[in-house]
Homo-oligomer: A and B are copies of this chain.
């Protein structure tokens, strides 16, 4: 897996990088990035193979090293490429601050759940990349967290804090945020297990909406109960 460090030679960046040559040159580069995004999202960093990626991109095996140096740099580039706002799409559907907190919570949960089960969508690729990082950190985990996870986390803390009437870094605020994230991650992640325990739950669109509503209601019950019966801890 980890070959001995040898003469690592990344592509010498062309002096005419942005010139007419760039189009044709970037073509396979982009194809590799797209293929890599799909394969990494499906299998995770460790299980995705360079050959898989190249086959999907219709490129030679050596090209990932030629264009990106090595597999990890390709992965980092995929994250940079896939995690930033797509063309015309907001970064992670962070609901506007205009919504009342409860509605904002519903929307962010809905966005996360939809995203987790949407197939073959770029937004979904993003989500799966993150989910994989959750359980199998890959050396680029810190970047994933900073770029994608933390915004969602901070936004959720604002929303939950607003409902609870507690500061965003209060212990209780954070625990609740993790409870919400945990539910979403579980439904998205434990599918092979759920298929055995609850075969009827196949996450059809209707079931997805049901799950979203459930998670929101399940979470809001506690949040609202805390609001009404306030005992400063």
- A interface residues, Cβ below 8 angstroms from B: 46-47, 133-137, 141-142, 145-146, 149-150, 153, 171-172, 174-176, 178-179, 181-187, 189-190, 192-194, 196-198, 201, 210-211, 214-215, 217-219, 221-222, 225-226
Contacts and interface: CB of A to CB of B under 8 A. Distances in A.
Given A176-B218, A214-B179, A221-B225, A153 B190 contact: no
| Those 8 A-B pairs whose CB atoms lie nearest each other, nearest first | A182-B186, A221-B222, A182-B183, A137-B192, A175-B214, A145-B196, A221-B221, A218-B222
A197 B145 CA distance: 8
Contacts of A186: 178-179, 181-183, 185-186
A141 B182 contact: no
A197 B149 contact: yes
A8 to B, nearest CB: 25
What is the count of identical protomers in the complex? 2
A183 B193 contact: no
A222 B183 CA distance: 14
A195 B196 CA distance: 31
A141 B195 CA distance: 11
Contacts of A176: 214, 218
Nearest to A188: B182
A178 B185 contact: no
A43 to B, nearest CB: 10
A142 B199 CA distance: 13
A142 B196 CA distance: 7
A198 to B, nearest CB: 6
A134 B185 CA distance: 12
